[in-house]
Copies of this chain bind each other. A is one copy, B any other.
Amino acid sequence: MVSTNHPRYESLNRRDLLVEGYKSGIVSIHGLIAQGRGEAFDYLLGEKTSDTARHATKVACAYLLTAKHPVISVNGNTAALVPKEIAELSYLTQIPVEINLFHRSEDRIARIAEHLHAYGTENILTGVDAVTLPKVASQRAAVDRRGIFQADTVFVPLEDGDRAGALVRSGKTVISVDLNPLSRTAQASTVTIVDEVTRAMKNINTSLRRFAEKDCFDELEDLKSSFDNRKNLDASCRTLLRHLQSVVS
């Protein structure tokens, strides 16, 4: 148990969730290494949500609320870290959750489905009716016919492969959360939220609840049309640089 007074309590607590997830067969061994990479980038970003990320979060909500066939693509790390937030997002928006793994195993998919369901997600697709996406080399190419395959908008809280570019090239809107603004996923997505996934998911759900309170069609369209992911990523890179400069000097 990590004391809540520890300066890095949140980060250490997330590490424990991943380790538990690995032990219960939800997280893959490569998911643990990926978590470490995320920790390092979050540390360099000061472990807080930037204004840039906050803006990208609102744009992501605009896309999710105006999509015809949106889907949420969940992997092991996402299920371990934010099961409650995924359930809330799916409930608020009525968007289905597809379990889609880079290191695919039917056993792990079943365990993740059980875990998500225990936390309240109702609408779960497990790729039983699977088709193969063209130009995706990993096992993530196997997608559900009713989910990612027919989706116009795919929200990927944590992408663990090279798939974002292929999804965008096939005409889909891709929204991702990625702490490395220089990664291929970050660079290829339509909207990239450069933030830690727990903070990002909480902010998304808060924004969605606010949008639900009012007639906001024009605001959502404005958010989408005025957004430039390249500029937003550049701003995240500058945030990273500024924070590094401040701790170095």
A interface residues, Cβ below 8 angstroms from B: 15, 18-19, 22-23, 29-30, 32-41, 43-44, 180, 182, 234, 237-238, 240-241, 244-245, 247-248
Do the beta carbons of B244 and A248 come within 8 Å of each other?
no
Smallest Cβ-Cβ distance to A241: which chain B residue: B244
Q: A241's contact among B23, B180, B248, by CB below 8 Å, is which?
A: B248
Q: How far is the CB of A199 from chain B (nearest CB, A)?
A: 18
Q: Which residues of B contact A35 (CB under 8 A)?
A: 33, 36
Number of copies: 2
Q: Which residues of B contact A40 (CB under 8 A)?
A: 36-41, 180
Complex Cα distance, B22 from A23, in Å, reads 13
Q: Which residues of B contact A237 (CB under 8 A)?
A: 244, 248
Complex Cα distance, B177 from A130, in Å, reads 47
Smallest Cβ-Cβ distance to A183: which chain B residue: B43
Q: Which residues of B contact A43 (CB under 8 A)?
A: 37, 180
21 residue pairs of the A-B complex, CB under 8 angstroms, read: A15-B30, A18-B33, A19-B33, A29-B32, A33-B33, A33-B39, A34-B36, A36-B37, A36-B38, A36-B39, A37-B40, A37-B43, A38-B40, A40-B41, A44-B44, A234-B248, A240-B244, A241-B241, A241-B244, A241-B245, A244-B244
Do the beta carbons of B29 and A19 come within 8 Å of each other?
yes
The 7 A-B residue pairs with the shortest CB-CB distance, nearest first, are A36-B36, A40-B40, A32-B32, A33-B36, A237-B248, A36-B37, A37-B40
Q: Which residues of B contact A44 (CB under 8 A)?
A: 44
Q: Which residues of B contact A32 (CB under 8 A)?
A: 29, 32-33, 36
Smallest Cβ-Cβ distance to A23: which chain B residue: B29
Q: Which residues of B contact A180 (CB under 8 A)?
A: 40, 43
Complex Cα distance, B41 from A168, in Å, reads 29
Q: How far is the CB of A39 from chain B (nearest CB, A)?
A: 5
Q: How far is the CB of A109 from chain B (nearest CB, A)?
A: 21
Smallest Cβ-Cβ distance to A42: which chain B residue: B40
